[in-house]
Structure 1
């Protein structure tokens, strides 16, 4: 199918800092990918990736709306609790005087104020979705006597909330020293392993043994389609990401103050950094932070993934660490789960981001690298033993919500999605799961229809696409089988503890239990799984039918667009049309269909509600205007809002998706 090329609005958000050499290398790598991949693969990939992410998003429904009544009564409008809340959130930002045909974002989001930061988004989503879905931890612990795994997770969450201020950093400092992290003291230059190889050793120890994904994550995935487990190099953890974002908003005085306070706390008052050391530390930390947080907005356009054998790994990370050294290091930490060799398969998410991290690590002198590593880890996790470091916020209400978010995601790092299992089972019995499968089938059928109708796709490619869609539609829709049965789930968490004298003890015990389960087939898919909601670690673009059909598309490497940003927009537009077609199909085929209009928004037609609902999910994003107004190019938008036909730019070209 073809889509007209659109004018791209200026992007917002922090731009990552990288050298000219890095930029040139990234451009060459991107060009190599574009040249080597056949056009038919672009077309097929667009459809298949859209379906993959439909699967992921539909799977994510299991928690997000678990507390509402799953079956909406037949009628003209949806009036369940969720639908009413969603309508209210739309009305709170809607500016009805703005013309949707001229600017959909102004119409839907005109009263929303300025774009949120990533941290603000997480706080809002936590308050609106996590709390409403899972409820109060203490109330749960007082009334629920089912899954012991869920009880342990909620007990750990409650223990985290009970932390107080502390002057004793002894146990935390001991943990750092056991890893070779001496900050705020200077690193031992004569110590064995003080070079880049030693830094990688520490990073791998943190991520594999302690689930601290500071600059990248390392996990093992056992997939039925793979003969052997594969190693996954993934995104940073939620806790480091949230804490980095806090620092991003600090002015020079606040930043220096928190560094000195942390330094005094960890050193017992022995170490005070001078001004030059503070400037250097902030500069180095900001370089990593800007690179790692760039992917939360459209600023980072090179989020390509790469699948390669370990023997070629040095070509990706950089020449400072050889592939043989990587093989040795990964084998040291993953040998219980993977027989690591030069031919072991590695899947690297966001390869350009990972490459930039490798370049920065190779560029910084060893002492500065150790200092920024130590400071980043200290700020990311020292709050778990001292509530004084919970937040930089002065407002007590905002500070309290920040603390709850941090405790929630820190507990999730330890227990995966175990805490949500009771809500999942309550919301999705066998009949309800059948309904979700029906939604997926409608979406799959919509995708096949679009592919079959395209005159740009060869018949052989259409056949291959149909085969892949059928295969994908039958995999990974639900959490692994143990999640559906209390006894099986609890057995996976036998060695986990939700009770201890302190949250730090729970943190250490749970991470040890996770390490012992590294070879489990459920390690990646359940034990370390994250509830995504709409968090800051993955850019999820929700194409929603009132929160019931979510579709996300992160299509990559399309052949004719002028920029990565334009390619992403075209992919999102394609996915939006797929979601709309799926909605139409579901409303026709389901005799007990969900109402497609919302109570309190009865003036909107079903199709108008679809586009307004979609746009409302982007009101607070830095790229919100771009994403909202993307819908104005969707196939049914003009008819839905009775817009006059807009003239096409005569210089526009067609970009094949």
Structure 2
């Protein structure tokens, strides 16, 4: 996506309000003073856990309010909930909406005390919709992939009914004639094509061209770092890490982004599962027997043990480097050896990068490196220096064989990360199609799954949250005036990536882009076609860097997170997979979606002003304006947010971002509510916010209580004010047994009890 909030041109009313695109500039590594550093580190350490806790609390509040209010209709005067009539509240009467509420309500485990283990109480009875899902977010990612796979498999089969991701069923007689693009046809060919002995020989040849060999060990001299860069830059097969080089707008410098590779958490999880179940040896022998030369002896148990030991060492080091969250850092390439890879010189990175890059895009030691995780680069440096080059090359070959061997021989197992999936072939074909064609092969799925009115609803929520945060800074007096202006500028420059560009949603433009790729043939060799497709992708990116966004899907859709804020790019990446239950449900009303999508978006947005975010301005450069000497101590106190219990004793430390996120969401909700008051002047603006506030005595009282909490007070005042108001009405929440319990638990949580 190139643009702010990437709203398709179909929404011209909002396109004019999009924020200006971030103009990247060089950035010096931020420096901090020792004073207050420990306190800031403690606040950050609790950030992920407590911000998620507060997000769940806000979501439960939305469930409680939604179930008790949105399901009711007004009738006679004085009857109904809170003295309301029974004729207007009809917001949640769709099957999708009711299923959403039932799913969240059924996830509660009422046998657990909410104040003892809140997550067990809130999610203890949650049943994932995808096999082996451990969290709600992983469930969303898995279910979204399954939906996309089902769409791609059904779109080219007119003889069967077609179930859309929205739940709508199209029978064969009523199905529209869908235009199948080249990427979708390639996916179909992958599903139904076989392989031949020529494919196995082609795999061996592909490995040899990279100075690799398996199961035999290579004898050709090669630099492991050079092989890693070649696989990633030229073939989009970044095993240990991924690199993307792009021009920085407005200057002659380049930006080198380094992120995680294919061998990461999912790989480690699959490896551990196969070892635990005792199937690892059998898997290795299947690859060994299919690819070894006739004269090559069978692999001994000692060699098998050594192979597994080195694989576990590599996977463990790479996975452990990213398990601690974001460790983002930006620095000039010439500082690479000092800050990230002490055993790999900057000149070596410079030389090898330019060797693999297109001649039109060269890097110098003055260019900027943005590492998503410095620990990842340190892990790569450690592995390349501590393991013999022969071992590293053998392990790279083994990883490649596991990734693409299924295309060379249909009898071979699929990728390790697809090991636990019911249909490994479907998952593998989806993976290789996405690697080759990027967003273009999902354009039909996106257009079908996210109708026009969804875009408007989602954009309204995200824009409301951001504008609310801007208003919060403008009206907050304790912040230094220059810092307040810098904060507002940072929010206005923030680039939110969500919707793909119009070019990748328009069938004709997508077809024109795909003309650069070979036409799939059902009688052709599977591996040969995909290598040709990846080669065509490399050639296309070498000619047209303006289409690069479509072919780096990880930039558009964070692979392991639904919401991620990039500090040095001042970019908030939101995955399209976040636009589904329970975070977003069409038709449930703004209150519930603010508690889901809005709250999580606000949590990510608030990271722009956490103890790390305030060190950078809107362009990603080190800032000297933040807070100023007069207000910095106040800022440190507020980032810690000590909660005071009823007895007056100081409670635990609460994360700044979580408290701020709830405040942004609540203020955004109240801002929208004001638009919908009777007699509001700007009816055209109000039309973009469909949630009807009138008639809700509970919500109006809550909003009035929030309004009474002035901006000059600590952000926790908003929570305590709401906590004082909720007990007065919680006994009226009687839609079903247990809702009063939910409300009471939420109140205690907000109070810090």
Q: TM-score, normalised by structure 1?
A: 0.70
Structure 2 equivalent of residue 617 of structure 1: none
What does 1:470-481 align with in structure 2 at a 5 Å threshold? Answer: 470-472=492-494, 476=497, 478-481=499-502
Match of 2:327 among 279, 298, 304: 304
Q: 1:192 aligned to 2:216?
A: no
Change (3 A) 1:327 1:419: same
In the alignment, the residues of structure 2 paired with residue 120 and residue 256 of structure 1 have an alpha-carbon distance, to the nearest angstrom, of 30
What does 1:602-617 align with in structure 2 at a 5 Å threshold? Answer: none
What does 1:276-425 align with in structure 2 at a 5 Å threshold? Answer: 276-294=302-320, 299-301=323-325, 303-387=326-410, 388-390=412-414, 399-425=421-447
Structure 1 equivalent of residue 170 of structure 2: none
Match of 1:105 among 98, 101, 119: 119
User: Does structure 2 retain, via aligned residues, the 8 Å contact 1:119–1:245?
Assistant: no
Q: 1:553 aligned to 2:604?
A: yes
Match of 2:257 among 222, 229, 232: 232
Change (3 A) 1:394 1:571: closer
Change (3 A) 1:361 1:34: farther
Aligned residues: 547
Specify the SS of the correspondent of 2:545.
coil
Change (3 A) 1:498 1:587: farther
What does 1:532-611 align with in structure 2 at a 5 Å threshold? Answer: 535-536=559-560, 545-546=592-593, 549=598, 551=601, 553=604, 555=607, 558=611, 570-589=656-675, 590-591=686-687, 593-594=689-690
Change (3 A) 1:307 1:32: closer
After TM superposition, the structure 1 stretch with the greater mean CA deviation from structure 2, 73-82 or 377-386, is 73-82
Structure 2 equivalent of residue 86 of structure 1: 100
Structure 2 equivalent of residue 171 of structure 1: 202
After TM superposition, the structure 1 stretch with the greater mean CA deviation from structure 2, 492-501 or 538-547, is 538-547
Structure ranking higher on relative contact order (CA contacts 8 Å, 6+ apart): 1
After TM superposition, the structure 1 stretch with the greater mean CA deviation from structure 2, 282-291 or 352-361, is 282-291
User: Does structure 2 retain, via aligned residues, the 8 Å contact 1:573–1:634?
Assistant: no
User: Does structure 2 retain, via aligned residues, the 8 Å contact 1:184–1:271?
Assistant: no
CA RMSD of superposed structures (Å): 4.6
Deviations 1:87-129 (A, max 9, x none): 3432443224545455432232112379986799898446632
After TM superposition, the structure 1 stretch with the greater mean CA deviation from structure 2, 262-271 or 524-533, is 524-533
Stretches of structure 1 lacking an aligned partner (at least 5 in a row): 1-30, 51-71, 609-629, 650-657
Q: Is the radius of gyration larger for structure 1 or structure 2?
A: 2
Q: 1:137 aligned to 2:190?
A: no
User: Does structure 1 retain, via aligned residues, the 8 Å contact 2:520–2:529?
Assistant: yes
Deviation at 1:284, TM superposition (A): 2.1
Match of 2:553 among 506, 522, 529: 529
After TM superposition, the structure 1 stretch with the greater mean CA deviation from structure 2, 264-273 or 362-371, is 264-273
Structure 1 equivalent of residue 211 of structure 2: 180
Match of 1:274 among 300, 303, 307: 300
Change (3 A) 1:79 1:206: farther
Change (3 A) 1:502 1:306: same
Change (3 A) 1:120 1:581: closer
In the alignment, the residues of structure 1 paired with residue 132 and residue 453 of structure 2 have an alpha-carbon distance, to the nearest angstrom, of 40
Structure 2 equivalent of residue 128 of structure 1: 143
In the alignment, the residues of structure 2 paired with residue 528 and residue 218 of structure 1 have an alpha-carbon distance, to the nearest angstrom, of 10
Specify the SS of the correspondent of 1:173.
helix
After TM superposition, the structure 1 stretch with the greater mean CA deviation from structure 2, 343-352 or 491-500, is 491-500
In the alignment, the residues of structure 1 paired with residue 700 and residue 426 of structure 2 have an alpha-carbon distance, to the nearest angstrom, of 37
Specify the SS of the correspondent of 1:362.
helix
Structure 1 equivalent of residue 246 of structure 2: 221
Change (3 A) 1:264 1:92: farther
In the alignment, the residues of structure 2 paired with residue 637 and residue 647 of structure 1 have an alpha-carbon distance, to the nearest angstrom, of 6
Deviation at 1:306, TM superposition (A): 2.1
Specify the SS of the correspondent of 2:155.
helix
In the alignment, the residues of structure 2 paired with residue 35 and residue 147 of structure 1 have an alpha-carbon distance, to the nearest angstrom, of 60
Stretches of structure 2 lacking an aligned partner (at least 5 in a row): 1-28, 49-70, 74-87, 159-175, 565-573, 585-591, 613-635, 641-651, 676-685, 703-715, 727-742
